[in-house]
Structure formats: structure tokens, C-alpha cells
């Protein structure tokens, strides 16, 4: 019997005041009704006489659930307006805390939202199985809201654990919609961390939904697929997955995660300027509270830094990374991007120091690969070919294992060719294929004739791409500031630029100028 037929049958029993028969149907078809007819379920449970409700703790819990928790889709923000005047049973408490958490989340108060979730989690930690059994059928939806809050609060590891619990409970009670959303988000998180095998495993574990394909619970899985495809340098597949994900108008909460995924794709296909403009305009279209804290603040900063780094704008990269207080699981990602920016500014030693920074958190596969890449390139710049080759060998093993091919886009053509030539492991057929496909997207795409700089001018240029002032450079080189200014003008002319900022971008795109 389909959900529509079940609803019709229950309505007939309601008209005839045949409450026992109606309740029996609800018990049998609870998963389908809670997934696809939640509004009707609330109407029915509110209509059941108190005498019948008192005979079943599950019905009491179900009534609270239907009144306090959201229906699917765009009505979610509106359903979280009710708040009990006093706390009663377990579900009363959990519903109130969840309501507070989601209300804070929608308002962009992510720390308050996470605090309410922590309190809710503590509430059920020591609850007996007997008591918990009275709310088990509704727990997946409650826990899903906790997981979303932890995710948007920047607690990705905690969120993934909560999503896994949600997934198991959702399958136990036949709530496939929630299982799809949980599995899809876990897959996205693993994709972000660079753990392809686990990401693909969770994508494969999503149950099949018989309802409309335009269901919001599919979005995170589709973003995860897009991220995996972009990382594997499969832009067409990534674009197809992004196109199949519902728009922000229909599924608004993951808007920043969508922007990040689009930005990684832009780094791969070279659409940097357009994506930077899109990132700025989309962020500006949201209230500041939606992007100045929590995961949104950090993921958007990473997106901007990725785009700026790939376009050769090291000042913009540093600006994006320093505009955010990194307090969550994303800090190691920011640190390794800072290392790349330092390297492209001529600070190979600083890059090595940053790449070796111990953040005190579990290191993601992607961060490990990025660190190895930074160390390989930095050791090349420091004329340490053996160390560079050792780091590159480790990088290649990881890149091939997880298809983290986009990490290779960090290198210039010269760097990559040098490292491959010195590394036997880099001559595998798969890597040869990848490097061939990279040839049109590496940052040093065109063949450049290096400017004819004198040894003295190269020394001054190395200073100019740092944060030193003209006076500091003059003091270091025992020259007058006017002499440094004169040499700088000559350098700019030879580089074909007119100012220091443009010179920095040129050097970032072609580091060989400094050697």
C-alpha cells in the first residue's frame, strides 16, 4: 500500500472515530508516513483523543516529534518555532534543545547551536535502553539535526560520527531519506579529507529512494561526488554532479559547501576569475552572520585562498587565510595553503617550517599530500634534490592511491618535470596519463623566455617578493633606498609589469625567475 493510500485509509478511520484501527495503521506504516507525510502525521496525532495517547508512550513521543521536528524541504525553518513552556519527558527535552539548536543555526549563531547539541547529547548519554526505546523511531531525525549543526559548526569529525549513528538508526527504522542524507554527508567529508575509498564506500551505501529525484536529502552526496571527480581531474563528471544537486533556492543550508566544491572545480578547469567573482557575489547575497563564523567562514576562506593561490595572487591568498580564526578541523588545510603562499613568495624555508607544523589534530590524507608536495617543491628551491625526490616519491604513492591528482596542479611545469625525472616511481602508466592531461592546466602553461636579470637584480627581486619595505631591503643590501627604487623600476620593466604587486604575481606563476 502506497503512502497516499495509507493516508486515505487513516482518514476514513478518523472520520469513523475508529482510533484503534487508525493507530494500528500508523504503527505499521510509521517509516513511510514520517518520511513522506509528516504534516498529515502531525495532524492525525494531534487529533487522537488523550485517552488513547496515554496508553502508548510511543504515541506520546510521536506526537511530540510531529509537533516539534521539521518536515522535509523548505518548511524546515518554520517548523522550528515551537518551544515548550516547561520540560516534561525525554523527547520534550530533546525536542526543545534541538529546536534551540536549529533556530540558532538558521540565525548564524553556530557556537550557540553547537552548545545546544552538546547538551542534548549529554541528556541521552546515560538514559536507559528502556527509556530510549520510547523515542527510537524519531531519534534519527533528531540526531540528523545534531549532525548538521556539528557540521556547520566546523566540527567535521564529530559530525561524521553523529551522521554514522544517524545512518544506523535510520536504516533500523526504515527511514531511507535520512539514511541517504547521512551517508551523502559522510561521503562529502571523506572526499574533502582526501579519503576516496571511504567516500566512495559511503556513496555506495546510500539507500535507493522511490520518491522524487528532487529531494533535498540527495544534495550532499551529489556535492561529494562532484568533489571526488574534481580531485581526480574529471571536470565534466564533476560539473554533471554539481548540476544534478538541487539549487540553493531549494536546498539552502549547504550553500558554502557548494561554493567550495565549485571553486575546486574552477582550479582544475582554470575558470578562476569567474569563480572568484561568483564567490564574492554569493557571499554578499547572504547576511554576514551566515558566513562570518563556523564552517561557512572557514570553507569560504579556503575556497578564496585556493582560487587566489592558483591565480598567482599571494597577497589575496594570505588575506583570505588570515581573515578567519581557525578553530576547527580545517586549520591544517589553511596551514598548508599558507605554506604554498610562502613558497611562491620566495620563502622556501618558511614553507618548509609551515609544512611541518603540528596542529595537534588528526591529519587528513589531502593535507598529508599537500605537505609532501610543498616539501618537494621547497627542497627543489633550496637546491636539495635528494630530499625533494624523497618527498615526491611519498607524494606519488599517495596521489595514485587516492586519485588526488589535483594536488599536482600546485607545481609549475618545470618543478613537475624535474621531480618526475628524478623519481622512478613517477613513471607509472597511470601517472604518465595524468601528467599528460595536466599539460594544459598547469600554472606555467605557456613557454616563457625568462627575463634577462642581472645577479644583483635577482637578489633585489628576491627581497621584493617578501614583506620587506624598501628601507629594510636597502639596509640589508647596504645600499640607499633610492638605489633600491631605481633597481626595482628596472626589474619591473624587464618583467613587463609596472608595480611590486604585479611583479609578485609574475614570480608566483614563474618561480624560475628567482634562480
Give the CATH number, domain containing residue 78.
1.25.40
CA–CA distances in Å: residue 455 to residues 274, 275, 326, 381, 439: 38, 39, 41, 17, 31
Average pLDDT over residues 5-29: 88
pLDDT confidence bin for 136, thresholds 50/70/90: confident
Neighbours of 431 (CB within 10 A): 18
The per-residue pLDDT for 81 is 40
27-31, 349-353, 378-382, 448-452: range with lowest mean pLDDT: 448-452
| 374 plus 509 within the same structural domain | no
* Domain extent at residue 13: 3-222
Residue 331 inside a domain? The answer is no
Neighbours of 232 (CB within 10 A): 18
Quick: pLDDT tens for 263-279: 999 999 877 888 988 89
Q: Which has more confidence, 55 or 45?
A: 45
Q: In whole angstroms, what separates CA 408 from the centre of its chain?
A: 20
Share of the chain above pLDDT 70, in %: 87
The per-residue pLDDT for 85 is 38
In this predicted structure, the answer to whether residue 82 has a pLDDT above a threshold of 70 is no
| 510 plus 409 within the same structural domain | no
| 152 plus 17 within the same structural domain | yes
| 405 plus 483 within the same structural domain | no
| 502 plus 367 within the same structural domain | no
| 443 plus 459 within the same structural domain | no
Residue 85 inside a domain? The answer is yes
The per-residue pLDDT for 30 is 74
Average pLDDT over residues 95-119: 90
- Give the three-class secondary structure for 33: helix
In this predicted structure, the answer to whether residue 70 has a pLDDT above a threshold of 60 is no
In this predicted structure, the answer to whether residue 88 has a pLDDT above a threshold of 70 is no
Residue 439 inside a domain? The answer is yes
- Number of structural domains (the chain) is 3
Quick: pLDDT tens for 310-364: 888 888 899 999 999 997 789 999 999 999 999 998 899 999 999 987 655 567 8
Last residue of a domain, one of 414, 447, 480: 447
The per-residue pLDDT for 361 is 58
Instruction: Report d(CA 322, CA 247) in Å as an integer.
Output: 30
Residue 251 inside a domain? The answer is no
Residue 421 inside a domain? The answer is yes
Residue 325 inside a domain? The answer is no
| 176 plus 54 within the same structural domain | yes
User: How high is the mean pLDDT of the chain?
Assistant: 85
Residue 33 inside a domain? The answer is yes
| 441 plus 462 within the same structural domain | no
Average pLDDT over residues 20-49: 82
| 33 plus 180 within the same structural domain | yes
Phi/psi region, residue 270 (left: phi>0; alpha: psi -120 to 50; beta: rest), is: left
Helix (H) and strand (E) counts in the chain: 30, 0
| 185 plus 59 within the same structural domain | yes
The per-residue pLDDT for 304 is 96
Residue 326 inside a domain? The answer is no
In this predicted structure, the answer to whether residue 214 has a pLDDT above a threshold of 90 is no
| 210 plus 73 within the same structural domain | yes
Q: Which has more confidence, 145 or 443?
A: 145
Instruction: Report d(CA 505, CA 309) in Å as an integer.
Output: 10
| 125 plus 52 within the same structural domain | yes
Amino acid at each position: 500500500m502506497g503512502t497516499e493510500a495509507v493516508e486515505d485509509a487513516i482518514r476514513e478511520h478518523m472520520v469513523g472515530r475508529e482510533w484503534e484501527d487508525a493507530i494500528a495503521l500508523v504503527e505499521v506504516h510509521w517509516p513511510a508516513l514520517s518520511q513522506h507525510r509528516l504534516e498529515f502525521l502531525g495532524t492525525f496525532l494531534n487529533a487522537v483523543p488523550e485517552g488513547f495517547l496515554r496508553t502508548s508512550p510511543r504515541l506520546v513521543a510521536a506526537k511530540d516529534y510531529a509537533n516539534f521536528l521539521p518536515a522535509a524541504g523548505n518548511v524546515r525553518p518554520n517548523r522550528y518555532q515551537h518551544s515548550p513552556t516547561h520540560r516534561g519527558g525525554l523527547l520534550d527535552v530533546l525536542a526543545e534543545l534541538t529546536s534551540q539548536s536549529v533556530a540558532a543555526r538558521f540565525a548564524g549563531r553556530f557556537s550557540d547551536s553547537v552548545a545546544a547539541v552538546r547538551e542534548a547529547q549529554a541528556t541521552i548519554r546515560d538514559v536507559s535502553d528502556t527509556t530510549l526505546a520510547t523515542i527510537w523511531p524519531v531519534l534519527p531525525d533528531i540526531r540528523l539535526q545534531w549532525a548538521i549543526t556539528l557540521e556547520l559548526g566546523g566540527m567535521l569529525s564529530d559530525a561524521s560520527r553523529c551522521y554514522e549513528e544517524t545512518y544506523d538508526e535510520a536504516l533500523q527504522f526504515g527511514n531511507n531519506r535520512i539514511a541517504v542524507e547521512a551517508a551523502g554527508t559522510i561521503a562529502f567529508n571523506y572526499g574533502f579529507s582526501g579519503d576516496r575509498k571511504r567516500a566512495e564506500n559511503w556513496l555506495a551505501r546510500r539507500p535507493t529512494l522511490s520518491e522524487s529525484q528532487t529531494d533535498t536529502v540527495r544534495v550532499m552526496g551529489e556535492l561529494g561526488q562532484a568533489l571526488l571527480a574534481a580531485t581526480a581531474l574529471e571536470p565534466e563528471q564533476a560539473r554533471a554532479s554539481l548540476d544534478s544537486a538541487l539549487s540553493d533556492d531549494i536546498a539552502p543550508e549547504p550553500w558554502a559547501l557548494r561554493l567550495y566544491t565549485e571553486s575546486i572545480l574552477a582550479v582544475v578547469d582554470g575558470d578562476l576569475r569567474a569563480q572568484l567573482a561568483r564567490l564574492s557575489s554569493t557571499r554578499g547575497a547572504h547576511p554576514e552572520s551566515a558566513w562570518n563564523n563556523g564552517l561557512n567562514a572557514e570553507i569560504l576562506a579556503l575556497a578564496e585562498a585556493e582560487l587566489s593561490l592558483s591565480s598567482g595572487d599571494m597577497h589575496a591568498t594570505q588575506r583570505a587565510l588570515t581573515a578567519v580564526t581557525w578553530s576547527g578541523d580545517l586549520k591544517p588545510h589553511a596551514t598548508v595553503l599558507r605554506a604554498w603562499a610562502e613558497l611562491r613568495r620566495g620563502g622556501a624555508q618558511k614553507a618548509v617550517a609551515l609544512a611541518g607544523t603540528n596542529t595537534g589534530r588528526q591529519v587528513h590524507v589531502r593535507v598529508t599530500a599537500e605537505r609532501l608536495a610543498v616539501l618537494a617543491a621547497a627542497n627543489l628551491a633550496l637546491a636539495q634534490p635528494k630530499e625533494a625526490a624523497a618527498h615526491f616519491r611519498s607524494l606519488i604513492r599517495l596521489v595514485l592511491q587516492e586519485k588526488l591528482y589535483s594536488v599536482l596542479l600546485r607545481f609549475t611545469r618545470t618543478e613537475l618535470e624535474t621531480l618526475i625525472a628524478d623519481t622512478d616511481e613517477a613513471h607509472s602508466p597511470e601517472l604518465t596519463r595524468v601528467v599528460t592531461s595536466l599539460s594544459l592546466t598547469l600554472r606555467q602553461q605557456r613557454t616563457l623566455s625568462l627575463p634577462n636579470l642581472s645577479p644583483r637584480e635577482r637578489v633585489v627581486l628576491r627581497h621584493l617578493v617578501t614583506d620587506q619595505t624598501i628601507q629594510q631591503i636597502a639596509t640589508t643590501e647596504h645600499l640607499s633606498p633610492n638605489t633600491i627604487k631605481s633597481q626595482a623600476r628596472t626589474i619591473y620593466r624587464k618583467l613587463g609589469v609596472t608595480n611590486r604587486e604585479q611583479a609578485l604575481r609574475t614570480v608566483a606563476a614563474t618561480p624560475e625567475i628567482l634562480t
